A and B are shown apart, each in its own frame.
Chain A
Amino acid sequence: MAKELPIVPTAVPGSSVETSAAASWREYRPEVRESQKVNREVVLFCPDGAISIEKETVTIDLHICKGCGICAVESDGIVMVPEYTGVSGVFGVKEGNK
């Protein structure tokens, strides 16, 4: 069934900036939920070199990430979340902020 959408296709200003250039092809983005559980070898699994780990801090560069989801399969502590979680704007609708 087709989604209920706003009649005129519109987006909240700046929302595509927040979700970066890669948002145009990415449908899901990785989110680090529990950094202490992240497998340190996950940096090797990322085909785009988008993940870096320094000490306890896991950083995923969303300007590079294309949303393949390999990291979330190979490691605990990372989950894939939809880029689009609502209909009030095409891009960057954050969870709990629909």
Chain B
Amino acid sequence: MSKVLMTGSEAAALGAKLANIEVLSYYPITPAFPAMERLSKYIDDGELNCGFIRAESDHSALAAVLGASLAGARSYTVTNSQGLLLMTEVVYHAAGLRQPIVMAVANRAISAPHSRFPEQGDAVSQGASGWIQLFCENNQEVLDSTIQAFRIAEELRTPVMVNYEGYIQSHTSEEVEIPAADKVTKFLPLKRMAALDVKNPQGVNTVTSPDFYMDYKYRQNEAMEKALTFIPEVTQAYNTEFGRDSIGNLETYKMEDAEHVIVAMGSIVSTVRQFVDAQRQQGKKIGLVKLKTWRPFPGQELYAVLKNAKFITVLDKNIVFGVGGALATDIKAAFYGNSDMVINGFIIGLGGAKSGIEQIKQAVESTESSEQRNSTLWIGM
């Protein structure tokens, strides 16, 4: 392994290159673009033997990738925010057709009003789509997760989104350990699973009667649920193969005797770590649970690590209007009936708003002092 300084965009592109993707299509959008640019350069320089399809929109880009995947090619795309929204119809197609597509999403706020700044609202909007969604804390995790995503997707026949936040990760350099290319090729053996076959032509995605539709959805959900145990198996195999310490569905940090636990996903986790370190030095019994797998939602696994906490502060860089943050809502649903702990959700850092130590401190203090239990509060306005 060698260590290189690289941005999240470069880590995503390198992950896809090491996975030997065969078909790439995208439509330029910021902040996902540097990943696209890097992949195009790999192809142009002859370092990656991959078909590139220029698309006239994000909808067409994912449709092209879906077609390639149906033909049996290992396929990849990159997008964010408005691009992901425009893709939405095909996002659901890809999941329903059980195609092992991997997509990088450089999370960015959604219009209107227009914003180019980071948050997780774009990915959260696709939470019901049937894609496995992984949230990365740092650029190392972007690279590792991209490689693992292909193995997860191809085994479960379910597409995977690898989320990393725009700018905070996509445009920021960090040290990343790079696995050897030949070992990645061995880790990701290519099994062709073509649905399209010229010798035995089939119509794909024909009208399905009530007699069958629900059964297809059941099977789709079954694969998603299987992911909860399969993702940790893949990360374990990856760690053994590459000597890394990548996490399964979640990671616990300073959780021994923790009475107050912060739960978060994505880049904000790094800031929370610093906050927890500082609080621990002052003797506060505080810990952190980082969620990597948001879809499927590892509710039981989360409960197992959080059941002894008195207070839970959930940080959401997204808002589901009229409900609250997606992560807090999912946690409350998963814990229902099992616990009388305080679970307060906080909406933080939307559209690039400040989500630093100060805002996290406000959230934590609010949970401990709040008379309002299980509420949703907005921090940092």
Contact = CB atoms under 8 A, between A and B. Distances in A.
Contact of B219 (A2, A24, A27, A82): A2
Contacts of B216: 5, 9
B203 A13 contact: yes
Task: Say what secondary structure dominates the interface of chain A.
Answer: loop
Contacts, number: 65
B206 interface: yes
Contact of A24 (B97, B99, B209): B209
Interface string A28-56: 00000000000000000000000000000
Interface in B196-254: 201-212, 214-216, 218-219, 222
B206 A11 contact: yes
B211 A8 contact: no
Interface string B66-78: 0000100000000
A16 interface: yes
Q: What 8 A-B pairs have minimum CB-CB distances, sorted nearest first?
A: A2-B218, A10-B202, A11-B206, A8-B195, A3-B215, A11-B203, A2-B215, A7-B98
A64 interface: no
Contacts of B207: 16, 24, 90-91
Given A7-B157, A9-B97, A11-B203, 10 more contacts: A5-B219, A7-B98, A9-B96, A10-B202, A10-B204, A10-B205, A11-B202, A83-B209, A84-B212, A89-B202
A3 B201 CA distance: 23
Given A2-B218, A5-B215, A7-B219, A12 B202 contact: yes
A65 B98 CA distance: 34
A20 to B, nearest CB: 12
Interface of A: 2-3, 5, 7-13, 15-16, 23-24, 27, 82-84, 89-91
A8 B70 contact: yes
B219 A16 contact: no
A42 B119 CA distance: 65
B203 A10 contact: yes
A52 B300 CA distance: 61
A48 to B, nearest CB: 19
A16 B206 CA distance: 9
A38 B299 CA distance: 60
Contacts of B218: 2
Contacts of A91: 206-207
Contacts of B210: 27
